[in-house]
Amino acid sequence: MTTELEHVDPRNPDARVIARAAACLRRGGLVAFPTETVYGLGVDALDRDAVRRLFEAKGRPSNDPLIVHVSSIEEAGALVIAVPAIARALAARFWPGPLTLVLPRSSLVPDEVTAGLETVAIRVPSHPVARAIIAAAGRPIAAPSANLFSRPSPTQGAHVLDDLGGRIEMIVDGGPTEVGVESTVLDLSRNNPIVLRPGAVTLEMLRPYVPGVRYRTGPTDDEVAQTSPGMLSKHYAPRAPLTLFSGDPLAVREAMVTMAHALAAAGQRVGVMATAADARALGEIGVVLALVSGDAGAEETMVAVASRLYAALRELDTARVDVILACEPAGADGLGGAIRDRLRRAAAHVVRVG
Ligand code: TXA
Ligand code: MG
């Protein structure tokens, strides 16, 4: 299959390209497009065969459910049994935007989309290209991130082409995405709502609407990582094994720089997810640097790190490094929490410092 690649102005996409993408979706085609978080691989959510092809194209296990993208809360209504008041309030505040709501599903939603679950995940993206394509298609669009299964999510059209070129009908390239990490997934289908996946919509932002909201507890990857790193579910992962340094921010950077020196001296090709300060400390020893931000700490910096995270991982893969070293952000919540979650999933080893 040849994959049609179209570049569009992200703010004002060419109506002819949007119409072609929508027609392709209505025929059961697979179309990748930018959202404000990461690129999605879209398919008509009500077309079972197309949804099955999507799982094949990504190499994704069929037990991992998809997010359905719609234009409005009204359109979400047909996909669920009822829209509770809390969902309405959250939608009014955060949609369009990077928040996914999990609700009991209606019979309209195929099993293929929900992996047989009695719930469905729904969001209204804010990216003008995503919005235009969904509106023109005139139906709900199931869209996982447009990467091969277990690879870092794509934040640029070129990432999608690398992973899925020749496997899907069309890529609409609207430049780099803004947020850089996937949407916050909030499960409203239970009595006590929980965040299944942290994202740009943080616990603090949700709390006024969902007072008791918390992160998922239980044997999460987080806890598994502490006791048994090998069992960490491999997700968002670069090809080279990633060692993640966790703990006191200053001690962590020092430990990372020390290990980078040691591995480089031992002849390894070392890749580092680096801040500008790390870059200065590592300048002379010939490691491969992928810059994630200017300097550490502030929430603005977390915004910069999130938007660069997956591109940096892919750059290090392209540079064919043997190992990747990265530091965890200090804060547990805010966007730092989302970055930490993704780095933990990408990591082969977590080194605790201090
Ligand atoms: O930002 C995003 O959410 C991007 C863009 C393209 O919208 N999409 C995305 O999709 O990240 P995907 O398929 O890579 O991740 C979907 C996540 C998975 O963790 C999945 O387990 C969860 O949402 N999910 C989907 N349906 C669910 C359900 N019914 N119950 C619980 N979790 C669900
Ligand atoms: Mg994904």
Minimum mean pLDDT among 1-5, 133-137, 263-267, 272-276: which range?
272-276
CA of 61 to the centre of ligand 1 (A): 13
User: In the prediction, which pLDDT does 217 show?
Assistant: 75
User: In the prediction, which pLDDT does 233 show?
Assistant: 58
Write the pLDDT tens digit of every residue in 36-49.
999 999 999 999 99
Confidence of residue 231 (pLDDT cuts 50, 70, 90): very low
Q: What is the mean pLDDT of residues 122-135?
A: 98
**Orientation of helix 299-318 relative to helix 157-164, angle to 10°:** 40
* Res. 128: pLDDT tops 80: yes
Q: Which residue has the higher pLDDT, 14 or 237?
A: 14
User: In the prediction, which pLDDT does 224 show?
Assistant: 47
CA-closest candidate to residue 309, choices 354, 342, 287, 348:
342
User: In the prediction, which pLDDT does 338 show?
Assistant: 94
Kind of pairing between the strands at 99-104 and 170-173 = unpaired
* Res. 102: pLDDT tops 90: yes
CA of 247 to the centre of ligand 2 (A): 27
Minimum mean pLDDT among 64-68, 236-240, 342-346: which range?
236-240
Regarding the beta carbon of 196 and ligand 1, being less than 6 Å apart is answered yes
Write the pLDDT tens digit of every residue in 130-174.
999 999 999 999 999 999 998 999 999 999 999 999 999 999 999
CA of 67 to the centre of ligand 1 (A): 5
Q: Which ligand is nearest to the Cα of residue 41, counting in written order? A: 1
CB-based neighbours (< 5 A) of ligand 2, an ion? 145
User: In the prediction, which pLDDT does 200 show?
Assistant: 96
Pocket test of ligand 1: the residue of 126, 164, 179, 182 to mutate, having most ligand atoms within 8 Å of its CB, is: 182
User: In the prediction, which pLDDT does 219 show?
Assistant: 53
* Res. 341: pLDDT tops 60: yes
Mean confidence (pLDDT) of the chain: 92
Nearest atom (ligand 1) to Cα of 98:
1
Regarding the beta carbon of 118 and ligand 1, being less than 6 Å apart is answered no
For residue 322, give Cα distances in angstroms to 173, 292, 300. Answer: 31, 19, 31
Regarding the beta carbon of 225 and ligand 1, being less than 6 Å apart is answered no
Pocket test of ligand 1: the residue of 69, 106, 145 to mutate, having most ligand atoms within 8 Å of its CB, is: 145
User: In the prediction, which pLDDT does 277 show?
Assistant: 79
Regarding the beta carbon of 197 and ligand 1, being less than 6 Å apart is answered yes
CA of 277 to the centre of ligand 1 (A): 35
- Exposure of 215 by Cβ count < 10 A (0-12 exposed, 13-18 middle, 19+ buried)? middle
- Element (DSSP H or E) covering residue 227: helix 221-227
Query: What is the residue extent of each domain of the chain?
Result: 4-215, 242-353
Residue pointed to by tokens 């509106």: 135
Residue pointed to by tokens 């080893």: 349
Confidence of residue 228 (pLDDT cuts 50, 70, 90): very low
* Res. 227: pLDDT tops 50: no
CATH class for the region spanning 242-353 = alpha beta
Confidence of residue 220 (pLDDT cuts 50, 70, 90): low
**Orientation of helix 15-26 relative to helix 128-137, angle to 10°:** 50
Regarding the beta carbon of 120 and ligand 1, being less than 6 Å apart is answered yes
Architecture of domain 4-215 in this structure: Alpha-Beta Complex (3.90)
CA of 235 to the centre of ligand 2 (A): 8
Q: Which two tokens stand for residue 4?
A: 């049609």
Write the pLDDT tens digit of every residue in 279-325.
888 877 778 988 887 554 455 588 889 999 999 999 999 999 999 99
Contact between residue 314 and residue 159 where contact means Cβ atoms under 8 Å apart: yes
